[in-house]
Structure 1
């Protein structure tokens, strides 16, 4: 993914809505919001991230353009890149929480993939899972980090600043046809 154009550092809007999962006193050194966008669904897809360090917006990222992407592949790619960013942050001693608005993505990686792996990447009915080329490496990376990482669902299109910014970056990546990886 590529870093966004200038103007990427600003103060976090203290009046922005809190995520449903936020608990009083719960703080993280690094908060990563990730999102994917695709228009039309099976079409131009991109992924984006908004990274907050110590409560301040620090970076915006966009990219991973796919001309034949889907909403799910865009969301999975964004989550995979967020895990890569989390790995770097954790290595520097930071506490990290990743926010994702895709229940499919968070469930696929944190809940379902372990069973799919045991069944040879197949569903209970024996059908092959969709998107194994993204799910397998993403799940492996998640497994290596999960003891040092918090994953949180954030409601999409609800005015949560970090999620809205990640969504804009994902759309920008698709519009710019930008294909960059961290």
Structure 2
């Protein structure tokens, strides 16, 4: 199983510079950002980029401290799709472009994707590193550079000999919409997004 930790950062929510990051538990990582966004768009982008960066048949576990991102990608996704991308109250799904991109990325991936909520800022080294990378990326975008040299210059892998994965210069910026507050209760586990379970 591939295990990846993700995180997002927004310097001023909403509308401030955002950063996202994922770090594979083998130590490889990627990060990026945008000039403007929300906490939720940053968290969703981190999750999306983690799925895209890990294709193949091997099961993928994504850990996040964002209950909102996990529920969007697993618990709420199927119902929203059935209802024509409307919420239970009939209103449009927020961050729809990102949610649909996550849905496509999961559907196109050969292997199953599972999500696990982890509590943030309690010493989990991969969660802490993802948080640090996302924060550096947001700062880099806020400074107007947007080239992430600071992120990759300062980021040392947690696993000896691991390497970073620089984002493509052609990476598209994510469309930004206003998000909603994350739910406060812990999501049920396991949360599988494509219906395939494994032991």
CA shift, 1:86, in A, is 2.4
TM-score after normalising by structure 1: 0.73
Tell me, what secondary structure is at the counterpart of 1:40? coil
Tell me, what secondary structure is at the counterpart of 2:133? helix
CA distance in structure 1 between the aligned counterparts of 2:71 and 2:82, rounded to whole angstroms: 16
CA shift, 1:124, in A, is 1.4
Higher helix share: 1
1:41 aligns with 2:16: no
TM-score after normalising by structure 2: 0.67
1:152 aligns with 2:116: yes
Match of 1:52 among 11, 15, 25: 25
Match of 1:76 among 16, 35, 44: 44
- Runs of 5+ consecutive residues of structure 1 not aligned to the other structure: 1-27
Question: Using a 3 Å threshold, how does the CA distance of structure 1 residues 126 and 150 change in structure 2: closer, same or farther?
Answer: closer
- Runs of 5+ consecutive residues of structure 2 not aligned to the other structure: 148-166, 172-199
What do residues 21-77 of structure 1 show as CA deviations (whole Å, max 9, x unaligned)? Answer: xxxxxxx3x321110000111111110111122xxxx223211x2222100000000
CA distance in structure 2 between the aligned counterparts of 1:146 and 1:111, rounded to whole angstroms: 20
Match of 1:104 among 52, 68, 78: 68
Higher strand share: 1
CA shift, 1:144, in A, is 3.9
The question of whether the paired residues in 2 share the 8 Å contact of 1:110 and 1:142 is answered with no
CA distance in structure 2 between the aligned counterparts of 1:40 and 1:145, rounded to whole angstroms: 34
CA distance in structure 2 between the aligned counterparts of 1:78 and 1:112, rounded to whole angstroms: 18
The question of whether the paired residues in 1 share the 8 Å contact of 2:18 and 2:42 is answered with yes
CA distance in structure 1 between the aligned counterparts of 2:133 and 2:60, rounded to whole angstroms: 20
CA shift, 1:142, in A, is 2.1
CA distance in structure 2 between the aligned counterparts of 1:110 and 1:153, rounded to whole angstroms: 12
CA distance in structure 1 between the aligned counterparts of 2:13 and 2:39, rounded to whole angstroms: 6
Tell me what 1:66 maps to. 34
Question: Using a 3 Å threshold, how does the CA distance of structure 1 residues 95 and 130 change in structure 2: closer, same or farther?
Answer: closer
Tell me what 1:171 maps to. 135
